[in-house]
Amino acid sequence: MDPFFLFLFMVIVGAVIGGMTNSIAIQMLFRPYKAFYIGKWRMPFTPGLIPKRRGELAEQLGKIVSTHLLTPESIQNKFQDEQFQKEMTQLVQAEITRFFSSKKTVAEWLQYVQIQEPEQKTIEWVDKWLDGEYHNLKRTLSSKTLGSTLPKEWKQKVDEKIPDVTDYILQKAVDYFSSEDGNQLIKKMIDEFFMGRGKLGNMLQMFLGNTSLADKIQPEIIKFLKSDGTKELLNSLLKKEWEEFSHRDWNWIFAQISEEALVRKGKEWIIQRLPVQKVFQRSLGEILMPYKNKIVEEVTPKLVVKSGTYLASRVQTIMEKLHISKIVKEQVESFSVKRLEQMVLEISRKELKMITFLGALLGGIIGGIQSIIVMVL
C-alpha cells in the first residue's frame, strides 16, 4: 500500500477509535441506568458509574457544599457586607412602603394569620383581664386598711380639704335656713313639737304663736351655724369620721357594696369606651401613617444592620441546625439518574466534547506513529 495512504488510513482509524473510546467512556459515566444480569451474573460496568455511586456522590457533594462552599464564614461576611445591607435596606423599605399603601384592615391582617373574630376575642380578653385584675387587687387589699393603701399625698390632700368641706356644708345650711323654705321647715318642726306635747303644747302655742316663734328661732339657727364653735365642732366631727373611715379594712368596704353589680357595670363602662371596632376596621397602614417616615428612613436601616449583625453571630448555630450537607445529600438522592445526567451535561457539555476530540486527536497521533513503525519495519 502506498505509504501516504497507509499513514492516512491508520491516522483516521486511530482517531475514530480514540474518539469513540472517550465518547463511550463518557456515556458509561451515566449509562446504563441500572444493572443488567445474565442469570445471576451481573454484567460488568452496569449500572454506570454515577448511578452506581449516586449515594456516595450525594454524600460527597453535601460535604463539599457545607465545608467549602456554603460555610458559616462566607455567610457571616455576606450578612456584614455593606453592599448587601444596602440592598436589603432598599428591599425592606420598598416592602414597607407597599405595606403602607395597602387597604387591608387590621381585622383582615389578623385573619391572614388565622386569627378569626378579633373584635369579639379582644372584648372577651379585656373582660377576662379586668376580672383577673379586680380579684388580684381585692386579694392584695384584703389584709390592709384604706389609709395604709392611699398615697401620702392623697391623705394630706383630704386633711387639707376637710376645713373647706366644713365651710361648704355650713354655708349651704345658712343659705337654706335663710330662705323661705328654711323658714317653713322651722314652722313645721315647731308645729310637730307642740303637737307631741298634748294640751300643754296647745296652750303654749296659743300664748307664743307659731309664726312669731319661727321668726325668732330662724336668726338663732343662722347665728349658730355661723359661729366659730359650730365650725370647729363640725370640722372635728368630719376629721374624726375620716380618721375612723381610713382605719377601716378593705374587706369591710367590699362588704358594703354590691360587688358583682359594681364589677359588671365597671367592665361594661370600660369596654364601651374602648374603640375596638374602630381600630379593627381601619387599615394598619392608616394607623401607622404618622410614623411612616420615621419607620422607613430611620428604623428600617438600623433594623437591617442589627438583624444582619445578629444573624451573623448566630449563623454557626443556625447552619448546624439546618444540616446543609444532609439537605444537599437528600436533594441529590431525590434526583433521577436522567436528571443528574442532564445537569452534568448542561454544565460540562463543552468540556466533554473537548475530551472526545482529544481522544480522537491522541488516537490519530498514535495511528500515525504506528503507521510509521509499520513502514519502517
pLDDT over 80 at 192, yes or no = no
Check whether 337 has a pLDDT greater than 60.
yes
Confidence band of 104 (pLDDT split at 50, 70, 90):
confident
- Residue 195 and residue 201 in contact, taking contact as beta carbons nearer than 8 Å: yes
pLDDT band of 172, cuts 50, 70, 90? very high
CA gap 199, 369 in Å, rounded: 166
Q: Which of 30-44, 197-211, 229-243, 331-345 has the lowest mean pLDDT?
A: 197-211
Q: What is the pTM of this model?
A: 0.50
Q: Which of 1-15, 19-33, 267-281, 289-303 has the highest mean pLDDT?
A: 289-303
Give the residue-averaged pLDDT of 273-280: 81
201 band by pLDDT with thresholds 50, 70 and 90: very low
pLDDT tens string 44-81 = 777 777 777 777 878 888 888 888 788 888 888 888 88
The residue-averaged pLDDT of 272-276 equals 81
> How confident is the prediction for the chain on average, in pLDDT?
82
Share of the chain above pLDDT 90, in %: 8
Mean pLDDT of 93-98: 89
Q: What is the pLDDT of residue 81?
A: 87
Closest by CA position to 364, among listed 8, 12, 3: 12
Residue 208 has what pLDDT? 53
Residue 88, pLDDT score: 92
The arithmetic mean of pLDDT across residues 29-56, rounded, is 77
In sequence order, the 6+-apart residues with CB closer than 8 A to the CB of 365 are 11, 14
H-state helical runs in 209-336: 210-226, 228-246, 250-255, 259-272, 276-280, 284-288, 292-293, 300-322, 324-334
pLDDT of residue 149: 82
Which pLDDT score is estimated for 197? Answer: 53
Question: Nearest 10 degrees: CA dihedral of 330, 332, 337, 339?
Answer: 130
User: Would the pLDDT of 162 be above 60?
Assistant: yes
**Least confident residue range of 9-18, 160-169, 248-257, 349-358:** 248-257
DSSP per residue, 168-196: HHHHHHHHHHHSHHHHHHHHHHHHHHHHT
Within the chain, strands assigned E span 37-38, 41-42
* Residue 347 pLDDT > 60: yes
Interval 190-215 mean pLDDT: 58
Across 9-31, average pLDDT: 85
210 pLDDT higher than 60:
no
What cell does 128 get? 377576662
